[in-house]
Structure 1
Amino acid sequence: MTEREKMLAGELYDCGDKELLLQWHLAKDLVRQYNLCDSNDSEKKIQLLQQLLGGFGENLWITPPFYVDYGENIYFGENCEVNMNCTFLDDNTIKIGDYALIAPNVQIYTAFHPTSAKERFGEKKEDGTFAFCKTQTAPVIIGDHVWIGGGAIIMPGVTIGDNVVIGAGSVVTKDIPSNKVAYGNPCRVIRDNS
């Protein structure tokens, strides 16, 4: 099993793997180009997103700056808007449904690390260096017609149902069912969203 396969399977994997680093650097270069595009150069932005993302539907709008780990594991539905300064750590799949509204400074994480420092880094090498920290992943799924408020953080393995509003500044650690308004740290369902 390759390190990429381990990563997508949610197993401990080595972030310093050559194949993964190649894609990571490619994504960083594409994101840098995207973030430096002229604001009204929609054609160039779409071309870069086609190279960067795993897939997306019609009418995707991402306001720069935008940050990713690999890019290729991110999928958007149709008519989605991502506001400025969002970070998507797509070490596993991030799937976002149709008509998603993602406010500024939202962070979506699919990666996490062992809590034990020894498990994260292992032993020092004879030359005094250490390997990249070990990582695991879990996918994030976001349904249709979801609004994620500014500064919210979506943790690995979370599924957010359809027609959900996540309040600004929330830390979403558990699944949120469809048709709910939820907020807080940790995020919890407050009421129905009809």
Structure 2
Amino acid sequence: MTEREKMMAGLPYNARDEALIADRKAAKLMCHRFNLADPGDMEARMAILATQVQFQGDAHMEPSFYCDYGYNITLGDNFYSNHNLTILDVCPVRIGKNAFIGPNVMISAATHPIDPMERLQAEDGAPISIGDNVWLGGNVSVLPGIRIGDNCVIGAGSVVTKDIPDNSVAAGNPCRVLRSITPSESVAVSAD
């Protein structure tokens, strides 16, 4: 397996691999171009991201945006993110339709071994899945391997360390479910 294949499979990989370094440089250049692009020309700005990020419909992102690779990110239709979104996409990061992302959100599929000697040799990660009709408040952190279900609201400042089931309002550090969203609330969220 190549180091990229290992990385995308969530296996330990060498981040110093020349091909991965080139991929990260390309993503940094894409982000730089996007972040400096004319804020009045949204179509041109989003076209820059579309060179590496996969959009499944309409999307709107405010600058600044940062990612590791870009090619592991899939965004559903009617996606919106506010300023300063960071996605560390060493593994697939999939975000469903009608997702709203607050400012200063970090979604990290990347992680490192706890053992310091192993950490010097390899990195790894785990995929992240965020469902349809999800709202992540400002300053939310989503950690590797997390699944956030459909119709969820994650409160500002939360650190999501465990999966969140469909139709949940969750918040805190660590993030925990506070209550379920009733069917009428889910319908209202889906209609937006």
The alpha-carbon deviation at position 105 of structure 1 amounts to: 0.4
Kindly report which structure 2 residues correspond to 1:124-135, keeping only aligned pairs within 5 A, or say none: 134-135=122-123
> What's 2:51 paired with?
51
The alpha-carbon deviation at position 49 of structure 1 amounts to: 1.4
**CA offsets 1:65-98 (integer angstroms, 9 cap, x no match):** 0100001100001001011011100000000000
> What's 2:103 paired with?
104
| Aligned: 1:188 with 2:176 | yes
**CA offsets 1:124-161 (integer angstroms, 9 cap, x no match):** xxxxxxxxxx1111000000000001001000000000
Q: Write the letter of the residue equivalent to 1:57.
A: Q
Which of 111, 125, 138 in structure 2 is aligned with 1:150?
138
The alpha-carbon deviation at position 121 of structure 1 amounts to: 0.9
> What's 2:3 paired with?
3
Distance 2:118 2:111 in 1: 12
Distance 1:106 1:65 in 2: 11
> What's 1:159 paired with?
147
Q: Write the letter of the residue equivalent to 1:22.
A: A
Alignment RMSD: 0.8
Distance 1:72 1:8 in 2: 10
The alpha-carbon deviation at position 11 of structure 1 amounts to: 0.8
| Aligned: 1:70 with 2:69 | yes
Q: How many residues align?
A: 182
Kindly report which structure 2 residues correspond to 1:6-45, keeping only aligned pairs within 5 A, or say none: 6-45=6-45
Distance 1:31 1:43 in 2: 15
Q: What secondary structure sits across from 1:81 in the alignment?
A: strand
Which structure 2 segments of 5+ residues have no match? Answer: 183-192
Distance 1:46 1:180 in 2: 31
Which of 155, 167, 176 in structure 1 is aligned with 2:164?
176
Distance 1:42 1:150 in 2: 22
The alpha-carbon deviation at position 52 of structure 1 amounts to: 2.3
Which 4+ runs in 1 deviate beyond 2 A?
none
The alpha-carbon deviation at position 50 of structure 1 amounts to: 1.4
> What's 2:188 paired with?
none
Distance 1:160 1:151 in 2: 16
Distance 1:47 1:78 in 2: 15
